Amino acid sequence: MTRASLELRYPAVFLDRDGTIMRDVDFCSDPEAVEIFEGAAGALQRLKEAGFKLFVITNQSGIGRGYFSETEYRAVEKEVERKLGPNLIDATYFSPDKPGDESRRRKPAPEMVFEAAREHNVDLSRSFFVGDKAIDVECGQNAGVRTVLVRTGYAETSRCSPTWTADNLAAAAEIILREAK
């Protein structure tokens, strides 16, 4: 056996940020605008306690469009993590690319998921993607993971076929915990 085959591989939940964890604010660049959805922190805590790695996978085209800087984005990211609570999010991956740009990272492309999987020893066959848009579902499908579309943001059900649909992140966590057994 190789060393790599002996390493423990973890299940993960990949999460969109805006409209899934927090209220969607167009091109959010102000930490004071961060409003975490009720029940989101508790849902993430239950997933973490069940052994899931948690990763935020987010498109941030406001950077590429020049609406805000990466420093401003990082301030919002830090505030999201502060409001959720310590040690819940294992890592955050973002794409600054604009829609229509040639991009391997921008969702629905799965590169950010693959990057997280490589860097954190994730078993994609036991993993999930949760988001509120068709591009989130498509990103999860492109990465080969099961998907949950939440209705807290755009909930574009007509443009995609998620594995499950849930009212919010708490309901999505219950589905994931049930299906992971």
Q: Is 155 left (phi over 0), alpha (psi -120 to 50) or beta?
A: left
Report the C-alpha gap between 43 and 173 in whole angstroms: 6
Angle at 146 between CA 135 and CA 107, to 5 degrees: 20
Report, as residue numbers or ranges, the catalytic residues. Answer: 16, 18
